[in-house]
Amino acid sequence: MQQKIDAQQVRKVAKLARLDLTEAEIEEFTGQLGAILGYVEKMNELETTGVEPLAHCLPIHNVFRADEVGASLGTEKTLANAPQRDESFFIVPKILEDSSA
């Protein structure tokens, strides 16, 4: 099998992706990417005339339902299990520091 990608190409892609690869990783990925490209090349040998492209291998359809207006839970039911509340509001711990000072 002819190698379709070399270490220089792996370095270029790693630089574009801002990856700092060691020489051992470059060598490993060169072999792995070459194997992937070899597999794709093998798939190109298949006869695909008359075969329609697929987005998914199974026949699936949109499973979304239509939006319907319904009754809400209400404030009391919504806040019933809240650990802390202030009238009709949840009290939550502060997670951001005040940087306006």
| Cα–Cα distance, 33 to 14 (Å, whole number) | 13
Per-residue exposure over 59-87, b if at least 16 CB sit within 10 Å of its own CB, e if not:
eeeeeeeeeeeeeeeeeeeebeeeeeeee
Q: What is the full per-residue pLDDT of the chain (101 aa) written as tens digits?
A: 455 799 999 999 999 999 999 999 999 999 999 999 999 889 888 998 998 888 888 887 777 888 899 999 999 999 999 999 998 999 998 888 776 65
Contact between 2 and 37 under an 8 Å Cβ cutoff? The reply is no
Sorted by where each begins, the domain ranges of the chain are 7-43
Closest by CA to 19, choosing from 27, 10, 28, is 10
| Cα–Cα distance, 97 to 93 (Å, whole number) | 12
CATH class of 7-43: mainly alpha
